[in-house]
Amino acid sequence: MVLIHETPFLIQVPKSFRLKTDEPNVYWFGFPASVQAEEDPVRWIQNRGVVKRLSTEELEDVRSDASRAANLVRSIGFDVRLLEYEAGQNVKKLAQSVRADLQSSARNLCERNEASARSAAWEASQATEKALKLFILQKGESPPRTHDLSELLRRAENLSTLNIDRETLASIPSGHDATDIRYGGEVPLSSAIDAYLAALLIIKQILFEAKPDIDYDVREARIKIRRPPWFDFDTKAFSEKLREA
Task: Identify the CA nearest to 109 among candidates 181, 189, 186, 187.
Answer: 189
Please report how many Cα atoms fall inside a 13 Å half-sphere around the Cα of residue 218, on the Cβ side: 9
pTM score, whole prediction = 0.88
3-state DSSP percent of the chain in helix, strand and coil, to 5: 60, 10, 35
Weakest mean pLDDT among 1-5, 74-78, 98-102, 218-222: 218-222
Name the more confident of 190 and 217. 190
Please give the span between the terminal C-alpha atoms of the chain, in angstroms, as a whole number: 57
Q: Find the Cα–Cα–Cα–Cα dihedral 232, 235, 241, 243, rounded to 10°.
A: 180
Q: What is the pLDDT of residue 44?
A: 97
3-state secondary structure of 98: helix
Distance CA 36, CA 41 (A): 9
Mean pLDDT (whole number) for 225-245: 69
